Amino acid sequence: MARHNVREQLLSAGLDTLHRRGFNATSVQDITEAAGVPKGSFYNHFESKEAIGAEAVVKYRETSEAWKALRALRDTKAAPLTRLRKYFESATERALRAESWSGCLLGNFACELSNQSPLIREQVAVAFDEWSDEIALVIGEAQRAGALSKYLPPKAIAEFVINAWEGALLRAQVDKDRGPLQLFLKVTFSKILA
């Protein structure tokens, strides 16, 4: 098997395992077992568990269903706030389909590692910033169309909405219940983005 394939196997298995179990509950051995490769091969491709964690955040941004769904926000056939609502309704459905209640990798890593790993924290911050930028584009479009107040800049509103979403997702994980996600949708689209 080519070295590149082993690296990709490790990264894919690392992303999945770290997302499901969390960073501190996952060992290098857990990742290599999930990848089906010898433990010794890990260090041929990654300097440390922290290094694979940081790269897992990048891979999450590049490949996750959640991140791919952001592209639908650019389809201007529907009104901006309709697109945003559909985006978050779809995100809610994806979260509920995951029976493990594993949540969002970004939110999980932010909670678990922001004081522990500057390398991973930086990658999570980049991801949150990119996500906010995508949401802000649609909010700006809604403001220009007169569908939303211009009282606050689009980026500030986008960051607030993402923060509220991540909080609702964390609470849903704790409660093992869809209620926080449904409340997020109700409040966000009847009061905040109304």
CATH of the domain at 69: 1.10.357.10
Answer yes or no: do 171 and 119 share one domain. yes
The pLDDT score that the predictor gives to residue 3 is: 55
Q: What is the 3-state secondary structure (H, E, C) of the chain?
A: CCHHHHHHHHHHHHHHHHHHHCCCCCCHHHHHHHHCCCHHHHHHHCCCHHHHHHHHHHHHHHHCHHHHHHHHHHCCCCCHHHHHHHHHHHHHHHHHHCCCCCCCHHHHHHHHHCCCCHHHHHHHHHHHHHHHHHHHHHHHHHHHCCCCCCCCCHHHHHHHHHHHHHHHHHHHHHHCCCHHHHHHHHHHHHHHCC
The pLDDT score that the predictor gives to residue 1 is: 44
- Domain extent at residue 22: 3-56
Answer yes or no: do 37 and 122 share one domain. no
Count of domains observed in the chain:
2
pTM of the predicted model as reported, rounded to 2 decimal places: 0.91
Convert the pLDDT of each residue in 75-106 to its tens digit. 899 999 999 999 999 998 888 776 667 888 99
Q: Is 97 or 194 the better-scoring residue by pLDDT? A: 194
